[in-house]
Structure formats: C-alpha cells, structure tokens
Structure 1
Amino acid sequence: MRFKVFVSLLGFAFAGLVSELPVYGQGVIVPIICDIRPCRPRPIPRPVPLPNALPVKSIELDTKIEGQVATTHVIQVFRNDTPYTLEGTYFFPIPETASIIEFSIWENGKKLVGEVRSREEARRIYDEIVRRQRDPGLLEYAGKDLFQASIFPIPPNSDKKLELTYSQILKAESGTVAYRYPLGTGRNVWGRPGIENIRSNMPQQKFGTVSGKIEIVGREALRNVYSPSHSIDIKNKSERAVSVSFETKDNDNDFQLFYGLSNDDFGMSLITHREPGKDGYFLLMLSPKDDVAERELVNKDIVFVLDTSGSMADEGKMEKARSALLFGIRTLRDGDRFNILSFAGEEHLMEKGLVAADAAGKKRAEAFVQKLRPTGGTNINDSLIASVKQFDKSDRPKMLVYMTDGLPTVGETNVEKIIDNLNKAKTVDVRIFPFGFGYDVNTALLDKLGSENSGISDYVQPKEDLEIKVSNFFTRVSSPVLSNLEIDMGPV
C-alpha cells in the first residue's frame, strides 16, 4: 500500500529551524497531543508535559557502498509511552549530497510507502486523512539537508516504526573515504523556532539499541578500514570487498567509518545509469594519490580567517579553532606566503601584506593566534571583504581558509548579499575553504562560499575527533595536485 507524500521547500514557519539545525542528525519525532478529535489546527493544552522527542527504541542500519556511492536503509522504532494519541513531526537532516529514495511507515503490521505529490495536494490529502483519523506520512524537503514528515496517529503506549532509504556520494580526502550515519539530532533540535511543545528544561532524546551493517565494494583495492567512533567487526571478503558491523546501546555519537583507496597516481571511477527509453546519466570521480612528491607541489598564498566572536567561547569551539589554525600554520611550506585575519564585530590582521612562511613568520603567527580571545558579534560580510583584499595579482595559487561557528549578526546578514559583496570585492581568483565549528553554524552560507569559489566546506562537531578532521582538511588545502580540470566529451 502507498500513502501520499509531498517533497517541497518548507516555507516561513520553519525558516529559522532550517538555518540552525546541524547538517547531520538522527531522525526525531517531536510530539503533540491529540484528543478524540484531530490535532489540527492546534492541540488541546495538557497539564502533563510531553517529552521533547519520542524515545528511540531501536535503530537498524543497512548500508551498501559501491565505489563512493552509498545507499543507506535505516529502520527506526520510536516509543510512545504516554497515555495519549499523539501527532508527531519527524525530522531527519541528511548529508549534503544525499537524495531520498523511499520513506515509509508501518501501521498494524502493514508497510505504507510514500508517493510524491505537490505541496498543495499533499496538504489537502493530509488534512482529509487526519480528519478521518487515518495514518499518513507526509515527507517535506524543509530546506537544505533537512526532511520533515508528519505522522498521525501515534497510539498511546505503542511503537511507531519508520523506514528511510537515501543515497549519497561520499567524499574522498587524501585517499581516504568517509562515511557517517548521524545520531545526534536529539540534543540540538530543542527550542528551535517553529516547533511546538518544546521544553528546554526536559530530558533530551533517549536512545535504545543501534546496530548496523555496512558492505563496501570498491572499484580498486581497499585498505585501512576503521571507525574512530564505535567498536566494529571487520570481515575482508576480498581485496575489494569488506563487511563491517557494529552494535551499541544508549550512544548518540555519530557513527563514522573511514577506508583508504589504492595509491595509484589517480584513481578513476565511472558510474553510469540509464533507464529504457530515457536519457542516461554518469558520475565520474577522480582521486589523486596520497603520497605526492615535493617537486610536484607549487608555492601558494593562503589567508587564514578566524571567527573570534563571543559564541566561540561555547562548547570549547575557540580552543578547537585555535588548534586547527596552529596546525594549518605548521603545514605551510618554505616558499608559501600567508596572513591571518581575526574578526568579531571588527577585523584584525596579523600583519600588513602577505608574510613569508619561514620559521620567523610562523613564530609570529603562533604568538598572534595564542593571544586571540572570543568576544563581540559576528561580522561575516566585512571579514570576507577584508580577507580577499590581502591577495595580490601574482600567478600563485590563492586560498582562503575561513573558520567560523555561526550566523552573521553584525553588519550585512543576508546570505545572498554577503555572497554578492564578496564577488564584487574579489579582484583575483581565490579558492575559499570554509571550516565550521559546532551545531549552529550557517551551513547554507559556508557551503555556498565553498562551492561558488572552487573550494569545499567542512565541519567539526563538539564531540568529534579534531585531529583526524583537521589533518585531512589541511592536507587537502596545503597540497593541491589538480586544478582547473576540463572534460573533453568529444563529439556527442
């Protein structure tokens, strides 16, 4: 049986929620109480408080990775321990490159699979079903990287099982491919604008058993399969095939898995797909080797920009950012030039002009970084403009590493206008690599900065292993081996 689903950009009510949610997160169901009559348009107030989110009884993960394309199927069982019939809003942030394949809910032992409908039609169908007290699951694309489904009814003292399947392209950094299944939404979603019945003083989402199976089939030899977050069992089926499994309880740390690729000069993967009678598609992936000779590298100019606003004092973000910046300075090579710009409400340069990355220059940089303290607002617009003005018109590769934790609060705050002002200020081509810290970072802005300026964005969460993420990030930035690529398709 199939039920009606819509996929659309969520409008004004959740605009604040979308910008502040983390990029990654386990699905949560935020409940409201229903009486005999339907919940809509608003639940009847109750003296008994509801949980912020329904407890997660179990999560069962089944992932298949072919090349660098991962298809994740997850079964989630939520528990309604209240004596009330509930209507729930299900949130599931997905990875940046992911696409939803299927969403389904279970009712009375039957699996109901979603169908895509227009926003208006789906809302009309949903309201009709709620009035008849039937069980829909309306899937909404609620902005970049976030899906929402409305679930009704959720009977009292019962389980509610949901299934979700999505595919994504995994990133390869310095010859290492990373896969993540998120489990941390429950500690971040509370108190966001647009969500009813949220009580910040109540316990956060509870977790039960989390188990997973990941099958990896490579197009080349696999090596160094490991997880920094969970204890895993690894079975090597062949040089190119590995099976990974894990099980844990009461653990909301994101599941992370890394594996290495072979060390050819360039690994290339070509994936094609064509349905009968339709246009075809292809995906071409190139991965440079990990070990690059010094003679293959060129001297570069790089400007590090560090957010020192007051919010960086939270959750140890300033110390993480400071450590990341010091690591980046140490990766500079003789012949490179650099500068450091710190900003909050105003900008402060380490020195005027680009500095030689010799021992003396690095020593002055480390002293400058150690003195930085978090205070003030966040003027992203002016800091970007000031940073791109540090580059001259030489033919050296130019890179900007932009480290921040949040949203623009001072000066221009509109994302599109910030991007437009940056483009007007640039007089040379600069690759921008945004690096976000914490959960409240404006991922829409940072992703746009990276994608529109030949760079790529990355993020560090409070509990994440900083050393692995930062070393991969700066290795990628400090040692470029491919740029300005072109594909000659020939006569097609």
Structure 2
Amino acid sequence: MQPLSSQAAWPTTFSFNYTRLIIVNTQECLHEQILPWSFFRFIDGQVYDGVVKGKEKAQQQYTEAVSRGQSAGLVSSVGRTLEEFKTSVTVAAHKKVTFELTYEELLKRRLGKYVLQIHARPMQPVKDFKVWLLLASIPENNAGAWVYFYPTEEQQKTCDSCGEEGMNGDLVVVYDVNRNPSLGDIKKSRGYFVHHFAPSSLVSIPKNVVFVIDQSGSMHGRKMKQTRIALLHILNDLAEEDHFGLITFDSSIVHWKRELVQANEQNLESAKKFASNIHERGSTDINKAVLEGVHMLNAHPREDSASILILLTDGDPTSGVTNLEQIQSNVRMAIAEKFPLYCLGFGFDVNFDFLEKMSLQNNGVARRIYEDSDADLQLKGFYEEVATPLLTDVTMTYNGATNLTQTNFSQYYNGSEIVVAGQITDNRHNMMMFSDTNAIVESNGTESDSHIQRVWAYLTVKQLLEKELVLSGSEKENAKKQALELSLKYSFVTPLTSMVVTKPQGENTDVLHKPKEGETPEEFRPNAAGGQAFSGRRSHGGFPGKLTRKQHKGE
C-alpha cells in the first residue's frame, strides 16, 4: 500500500414536514490535512453538484437561496486552518434532501503509523449509521483490508462514551505500509510526482532541548496538573546522551538550572522534583521566556546534535513586551534559523494564530492541545514525535522537475515522513537525489489518475497559506492570490473559499412559507461536541467491529 491519502464520503438525509424553512448548522473538527472537495444533494430525483467559489460569493449564493425558501448547502472553513469546517444545510418545507460531502485527507505519518480518524458525533442515535473503509494498495495488487463499523441505535446510546444523544467519539484506524528499502518512494502521474521519504535505519542524533513552560495564573487547575504529569513522562523518555533545560515563566522567569545539563539519573531526579512543584501565578511574559530559552541553546553548542525549543502556553502575553509582531521579530532574530521552535497552545481560547506564525517563522509547527482529560497524553504524544531526530538540514534536490513544494527541512524525526511533490519537466529523468545524503533513488511507479496532481495542488495551497501568514505587502497578496486560484481550480475548501450547492433559479421550489425580511428562520443547532473542536475523546466499548484482509500471493 502507498501512503498517499484517504478519501471519504458522508451521505446525510434531512426530512422535514413543517411548513417553514429549517436550517441545520454543524461544525466538524477534522484534521489539518483534510480538504472537502465534493458536496452534492439529491432532491426531487435530481442531483445538484456543489461548486467552489470565493468565500463571499459562495455565502451570497447560499443566502439568496435561503431567502427564496430553497434547499441549499454550504461548506466553509472556520478560521485560518484547514482542520475545522462548518456545514450549513437549509431544507425547504415538505422536502427530503440527501447531502453528501466528500473530502480528501493527506495522511501524515506520526510515530511510525498513519492514523485515519473519523468523527462519530451525529448528536442523536442514527437508524442507519455505517462506516466502511477500504485500505487499498496503489497500484492494485490485491493487497488491502476492509474495516466495517455498523453500530445499532441501542449500541449508539450504551457505549462507554455515549448517551441519549448518541455517539460522541471517534473511529480510529491505525496502520503503516510496506516500504521500499531504498531512501524513498516516488509515484508519477500526468506530469506530476510525489515523493515519500521515511528512512528508519539511520542512527539517531543526540538532542539539546529546552522546555519553556507557562505557569501564569490562567494555567490554574487541570491545565497545570496535566502539564506537570506530562513533563514527568517526558523526562522519563529523555535519552542519556540528550542535554536539556527547564524554564517556567509568568511575569518573571524561573530556571531549574541556568544551563543545559546531561540527562543522567541524578539530573533527571532533580528535574522531576522541580516539575512536580510548578504552580500557577502571575501574568505572562512570553517574549522574555522564549528569548531566555534561545539563549540557553545558543550557549550550549554541540557538534552532531539537534537543538529543539518547545514552548507551552495558554494565553496572550500580558507582561513585558506584549506587541505580538515585536515578539515574533525578536524571536526570529534570536533563533536565526539555527533550530526549530515548536509552540503548543493549551485550550480553546489561546491565540493560536500568533503561535502558528511564530513557529512557521522558525521552521517549527504549532499544535493545539485540547483541554480535556487526556491533555497530558496529547503533550507527551507531541514530544514523542520530535524525540528522536535522525537528520538535520535536509535538502531534497530533483532533476527534471519544477514548481516543487517545500524541499528544505530543518530536521527529520524517526517515525515521521517528508513528502515533496512537483511537476515533471523532463520525463527522461527517472532519478532524484538527496543533497544531504548523496543518495539517488529511481522513480518506481506511474499512476493513471489525477491523484498525484491533487496531492501536489493540496501541498502547494497549504504551504502558500502558511507563507501568506508570515509574509507582508505584495508578497503576502501574491501568495494569497496563488492559493485562491489553485483552490478554485481544484475545488478545495480553504480559508479563502467555500463550497455551495443550490437549486438553479427558475426551478419549482414548492415553498409553502419562506421567511420574511428580518424574520429568523426556525433553527436546529447541535451543541456540545457538535460545535466544539476535537477534544481527544474516543469511543471504546459496545460496538461491533470487523476487520477483514484480502490476501495476495507472497504475503
């Protein structure tokens, strides 16, 4: 099997016998790699396809359809990320409408596995709730597996995390693929290629890591308790050849030690005592704390090692330098591209845009830690992803290719994966080269569909949106323009676009009553988890599960 992406379709039927218009709004928290790309409905025996338009134009078309009393649907991205989408469905009086939303997901390899996570949160027991998954090889060689999930109405109310409102969890499928023993796997299709690079036989690199922990007053209660628990787990996982430091901060800074030390038994025990006694207090001086972490790493150079700075905070800066752009500029100048900064934002009200921009400016990523019972596991899980660096300063160089996605990576970690896509300018070149390892890999497959091209388009759009976040002036507008053009061309729902499906004007709408100007339509609005971001909860017991596998020769 090749780890390119997954595709899923969700058919949903709404039937209302009222004489008034009904509006259903749902908010789905997906993954950062998901792009809805098909949305259509069945009504009166006809199929109406959704169309991706600029966000304002799509909203206008949907609003006009609602004002005419017609059935309509709208899928839009919430916020700046690609992980949360809002679906608005309007059902006309005396109508039964089936909407089907199809999305693609570029699965991201973490800790040596791909995780396909399907949110099962219909907010009510569903008579016919079925999920079936096919994990298939590309190209087809009869290798693969089916996964079936068919809970009854009663089981939807009686499972471990269920209630009268039905399921409130996730179906999680974890898998990995058989890999080419070389340093990569390249697929080509219609003038495009995608390269998956995930070597695992490399020797790990010792790391220098500084943890910068927010202990301001807003971290009180469960946040602080879970942070302490996570730190104790993380300290247990440090290798003896690693060097580390701990900083806590509110309006002032507290050092465990003023310089990095080796992760030997004595130092780890001392660090655990320090972590166990972290308590919330005061305001938040992010600027001073992060710059101190940078200073500690800069003062501790080690050859053949990888340096990492990890910030955990739950709020905006309220002490010291509070201008967000000034903080970002200070941190960027201090780090000077020497190592990555990873920002972990704790809770729903954290200024995630600020953390994301600061991470992207420093070759890192930002991750939201959801305030839930498993927050300590989320923190530990993130650390495990970056715990074992294998390569630093990786540059991917390709012959006969153009319009490449990101090719420079500050670090590569064990269990992860580097994915690069691009357009092929010369099909005679079947070779690629890593400048960091001086290794050459031959292209080993050609696909016949547009799948590879869509992977390239998705990665390009995602990276353009990230650039737009950190650029300014004409460069910022140009990146935004390119992202919009590709989103429209490939029918991607992004922060710049929405997908709308309406009945063409002129067709009979059979409306008995439509809202008058200024009148609020009757609404049904799911609440609780239906309108919240992913909380990390899982569905466990009480469900029938079935996994079958198709066998093929030689397996």
Shorter chain as denominator, the TM-score bin is 0.5 to 0.7
Kept after mapping to 1: 8 A contact 2:337/2:363: no
Kept after mapping to 2: 8 A contact 1:304/1:325: no
Q: What's the offset of the Cα at 1:434?
A: 3.0
For 2:234, the equivalent position in structure 1 comes to: 328
Larger deviation, residues 434-443 vs 338-347: 434-443
For 2:214, the equivalent position in structure 1 comes to: 307
1:370 partner amino acid? S
Query: Residues 403, 98 of structure 1: CA spacing in aligned structure 2 closer, same or farther, 3 A cutoff?
Result: same
- 1:148 corresponds, among 49, 70, 86, to 86
Q: What's the offset of the Cα at 1:346?
A: 3.6
Q: What's the offset of the Cα at 1:76?
A: 3.3
For 1:268, the equivalent position in structure 2 comes to: 184
For 1:251, the equivalent position in structure 2 comes to: 167
Query: Residues 408, 170 of structure 1: CA spacing in aligned structure 2 closer, same or farther, 3 A cutoff?
Result: farther
Kept after mapping to 2: 8 A contact 1:175/1:261: no
Q: What's the offset of the Cα at 1:332?
A: 1.8
Deviations 1:307-342 (A, max 9, x none): 22344345x333332222222212222232111112
**SS state of the match for residue 335, structure 1?**
coil
- 1:317 corresponds, among 223, 226, 243, to 223
**SS state of the match for residue 288, structure 1?**
coil
For 1:71, the equivalent position in structure 2 comes to: 7
Q: Is the aligned partner of 1:287 residue 2:198?
A: yes
**SS state of the match for residue 326, structure 1?**
helix
- Partner Cα distance (2:352, 2:120) in 1: 18
Query: Residues 267, 67 of structure 1: CA spacing in aligned structure 2 closer, same or farther, 3 A cutoff?
Result: farther
- 1:164 corresponds, among 101, 104, 117, to 101
Equivalent residue pairs, number: 381
Normalising by structure 2, we get a TM-score of: 0.60
- Partner Cα distance (2:247, 2:97) in 1: 51
- 2:135 corresponds, among 213, 216, 229, to 216
For 1:242, the equivalent position in structure 2 comes to: 145
Q: What's the offset of the Cα at 1:303?
A: 0.3
For 2:277, the equivalent position in structure 1 comes to: 371
- Partner Cα distance (2:393, 2:384) in 1: 19
Query: Residues 174, 345 of structure 1: CA spacing in aligned structure 2 closer, same or farther, 3 A cutoff?
Result: same
Q: What's the offset of the Cα at 1:134?
A: 1.9
- 1:174 corresponds, among 111, 123, 127, to 111
2:133 partner amino acid? I
- Partner Cα distance (1:126, 1:485) in 2: 46
**Pairwise CA RMSD of aligned residues?**
3.5
Deviations 1:411-458 (A, max 9, x none): 666655443231023256122233344444444344444444333444
- Partner Cα distance (1:245, 1:375) in 2: 49
Query: Residues 357, 464 of structure 1: CA spacing in aligned structure 2 closer, same or farther, 3 A cutoff?
Result: same
Kept after mapping to 1: 8 A contact 2:62/2:72: yes
- 2:23 corresponds, among 84, 87, 90, to 87
Q: What's the offset of the Cα at 1:485?
A: 1.7
2:311 partner amino acid? Y
Kept after mapping to 2: 8 A contact 1:346/1:379: yes
Query: Residues 361, 255 of structure 1: CA spacing in aligned structure 2 closer, same or farther, 3 A cutoff?
Result: same
2:216 partner amino acid? S
**SS state of the match for residue 145, structure 2?**
strand
Normalising by structure 1, we get a TM-score of: 0.66
For 1:50, the equivalent position in structure 2 comes to: none
1:326 partner amino acid? L
Query: Residues 413, 254 of structure 1: CA spacing in aligned structure 2 closer, same or farther, 3 A cutoff?
Result: farther
**SS state of the match for residue 389, structure 2?**
coil
Give the number of the structure with larger relative contact order, counting CA–CA contacts within 8 Å between residues 6 or more apart. 2
Q: How does 1:82-481 map to 2 (within 5 A)?
A: 85-108=21-44, 110-143=46-79, 144-145=81-82, 146-153=84-91, 155=93, 161-183=98-120, 205-206=123-124, 208=126, 210-218=129-137, 240-248=143-151, 249=156, 250-262=166-178, 268-274=184-190, 280-289=191-200, 296-313=203-220, 316-392=222-298, 394=301, 395=303, 396-408=305-317, 416-427=325-336, 429-462=338-371, 472-481=381-390
Q: Which has the higher strand share?
A: 1
Q: What's the offset of the Cα at 1:207?
A: 5.2
Larger deviation, residues 442-451 vs 336-345: 442-451
**SS state of the match for residue 67, structure 1?**
coil
Kept after mapping to 2: 8 A contact 1:89/1:151: yes
